[in-house]
């Protein structure tokens, strides 16, 4: 695990996603989270789409919270195609195919409880949460 900013071409999609779609940290409320990125490979042998999907991890510079999103959601595959494996898996799990799902991996040092740890929500819900801080 080594979080870093991805300013280059290869990292520009997830970096832009984090900077543009999550402008305010949902855990500490800073409007300058300066997200750093890491990528986690899924378990290849798992049939569970949640486990075998590659994930991007976004870390807030201020509070250290870590958000997790499927690579397919970030680059748009899991959202745009109903026939994609990720899209089908979402339907099976009762999720909205068109939504981006974010999981709170670590709540960071601003949280006094682990209330949101491991909680999965849509990007809209995450941003609504950020607005309440
Ligand atoms: Zn934060």
Mean pLDDT of the 13-41 span: 95
Answer yes or no: is pLDDT of 90 > 90: no
Mean pLDDT of the 5-15 span: 80
Residue identified by tokens 């339907």 is 91
* Residue 90 CA to ligand 1 centre (angstroms): 28
* Residue 15 CA to ligand 1 centre (angstroms): 16
Q: What is the pLDDT of residue 93?
A: 74
Name the pLDDT band for 48 (thresholds 50, 70, 90). Answer: confident
Buried/exposed code over 102-116 (b: 16+ C-beta within 10 A; e: otherwise): bbbbbbbebbeeeeb
Q: Where are the domains of the chain?
A: 12-132
Mean pLDDT of the 107-133 span: 91
CB–CB of 76/84 below 8 Å? no
* Residue 12 CA to ligand 1 centre (angstroms): 21
Which contiguous run of DSSP H or E holds residue 121?
strand 120-122
* Residue 33 CA to ligand 1 centre (angstroms): 6
Q: What is the pLDDT of residue 80?
A: 53
Calculate what percentage of the chain has a pLDDT beyond 70: 87
Higher-scoring residue by pLDDT: 51, 77: 51
């Amino acid at each position: 695990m080594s979080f870093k900013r991805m300013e280059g071409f290869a990292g520009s999609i997830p970096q832009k996603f984090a900077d543009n779609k999550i402008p305010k940290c949902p855990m500490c409320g800073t409007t300058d989270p300066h997200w750093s990125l890491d990528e986690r490979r899924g378990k290849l042998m798992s049939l569970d789409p949640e486990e075998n999907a590659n994930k991007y991890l976004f870390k807030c510079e201020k509070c250290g919270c870590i958000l997790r999103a499927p690579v397919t959601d970030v680059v748009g595959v899991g959202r745009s195609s109903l026939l994609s494996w990720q899209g089908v898996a979402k339907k099976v799990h009762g999720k909205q195919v068109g939504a981006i799902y974010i999981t709170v991996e670590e709540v960071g040092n601003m949280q006094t409880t682990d209330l949101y740890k491991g909680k999965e929500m849509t990007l809209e819900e995450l941003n609504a949460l950020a607005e309440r801080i």
